[in-house]
Structure 1
Amino acid sequence: MKKNTILISFLFLGTVLVSSCSNDSSADLSGIDELDEVTYTNTVKSIIDNNCIMCHAATPVNGAPMSLTTYENVKQAVLNRGLLNRISREQGSPGMMPNGGTRLPQVVIDQVSTWANQGLIE
């Protein structure tokens, strides 16, 4: 009898736990809209810092023509200096960035492109 009571208790508890962990729609998930917006501060800055700053520092080195240390620098590089084109070139193509390095993963390039398409939000 005691075993049956314990078994029923576990089954009841399991049912409660499983049924309480569901969503009826994606609207029930908090913050889902925030995941779609790519901004300079929350995404692009870290991409630039991790892949470009070694040459595009406050004082550019290794032949880099401009600094990419600020939002405005990066915005102007996208608008006027072909940054998206340069990071999108095939590995080993002339002018591909990062210069002398490995092409950025496509998902990273897509994030920068999304940022540009969404209006270069800071």
Structure 2
Amino acid sequence: MKKILYFPLLLCFGIVFVVGCTNDSSSDLIDINQFDEVTYTNTVKSIIDNNCIPCHATVPVNGAPMSLTTYEFVKNAVQTRGLLDRISRPQGSTGMMPNGGTRLPQAKIDQIFEWAENGLPE
């Protein structure tokens, strides 16, 4: 008896779910692209902080030649210090960053490239 009651109940929930997830106009939709913009503040900074700052700190350590603690420092590293090349090198290659670590996931590298291609927005 209980099994017979579950089917109509599930069917009813399914219909409510489908009908409740419709739009009458495009103005009801959220602009997803507003969340996808790759900027230093909302994307790149966290990648740098989590992967580069152990060596590229305010006072660089372990032979790191510069700090990457600010937008200006990271921007300069992209424009004049070959940061994009260094993070793109294959695992184990000479000069690959992070030095002695695991290469960044390609998705993170792609985000940094997208940031650079879009003019390095802060």
Q: Which TM-score tier does this pair reach, normalised by the shorter chain?
A: 0.7 to 0.9
Unaligned segments of structure 2, at least 5 residues: 1-6
RMSD, aligned α-carbons = 2.8
User: What's the offset of the Cα at 1:18?
Assistant: 1.7
What is the CA–CA distance in structure 1 between the aligned matches of 2:61 and 2:82, rounded to whole Å? 19
Q: Which SS does the other structure have where 2:102 is aligned? A: coil
What is the CA–CA distance in structure 2 between the aligned matches of 1:40 and 1:113, rounded to whole Å? 11
Give aligned pairs, total.
119
Task: Report percent identity of matched pairs.
Answer: 70
* Residue 57 of structure 2 is aligned to residue 57 of structure 1: yes
Q: Which SS does the other structure have where 2:95 is aligned? A: coil
Task: Please give the TM-score of this superposition, normalised by the length of structure 1.
Answer: 0.84
Q: How does 1:99-110 map to 2 (within 5 A)?
A: 99-110=99-110
| Alpha carbons of structure 1 residues 8 and 50: separation in structure 2 relative to 1, 3 Å | closer
Q: Which residue of 2 aligns with 1:77?
A: 77
| Alpha carbons of structure 1 residues 10 and 37: separation in structure 2 relative to 1, 3 Å | closer
Question: Which has the higher mean CA deviation after the structures are superposed, 19-28 or 50-59?
Answer: 19-28
Task: Please give the TM-score of this superposition, normalised by the length of structure 2.
Answer: 0.84
What is the CA–CA distance in structure 2 between the aligned matches of 1:97 and 1:10, rounded to whole Å? 53
Q: Which residue of 2 aligns with 1:118?
A: 118
Asked whether the equivalents of residues 58 and 68 of structure 1 are also in contact (C-alpha less than 8 Å), the reply is: yes
